[in-house]
Amino acid sequence: TAQINGVGTKPDLVGEKCGIMFHVTTAKKMLVSVERLTAAGNLVTFGPTNEHCFIENLQTQRRIMMKKRGGVYEVEVMFQIGETWKKGTLTIDSGAEENVMPKGWYDQIELMEKKDGIRFMGADGSDLGNYGRKLMEFIPVAEFNAGFPRRA
């Protein structure tokens, strides 16, 4: 795909689209809860090297590889924003109870009603707000299926 500033019309990736529901807050980045990943039927493995760090769907055995950067585990993705695709990063967070994303990111994606009665708190105890939810669809950039790389 020809890309300008991380935006393209279709990624040159082989893989199935994924989707994660995020709560919109004043978080600084997109955090994906390990609790939510495992509740959805995934195994999350953190290992000593990048090849040991992955998210595997237990039903399909599809693997999404994580990269460790400075003590943080991340997944590189291409988000579908309407008819275009944009590069992004998901931070896999073992301390988060919910998936959260910053308010004001990806305004083209429909903002759904917030779940009442839910408060989000930062690691420092600050209130992160609760502004609604967005279903983010994406294709992982580093995807493996049953341990074998897919063609790029």
Rounded Cα gap, residues 57 and 102, in angstroms: 26
| Alpha-carbon 63 to chain mean position | 14
> What tens digit of pLDDT does each residue of 38-55 get?
999 999 999 988 889 999
User: What was the pLDDT predicted at 93?
Assistant: 95
Q: What pLDDT is attached to residue 15?
A: 64
pLDDT at 50: 87
122-139 residue pLDDT tens: 888 999 999 999 999 999
CA distance 81 to 109: 7
Cα–Cα distance for residue pair 96/89, rounded to 1 Å? 16
- Tokens standing for residue 30: 């997109």
At residue 142, the pLDDT reads 61
Query: Averaged in consecutive runs of 10 residues, what is the pLDDT profile of the chain (152 residues)?
Result: 42 70 96 96 93 93 91 93 92 94 95 92 91 95 46 38
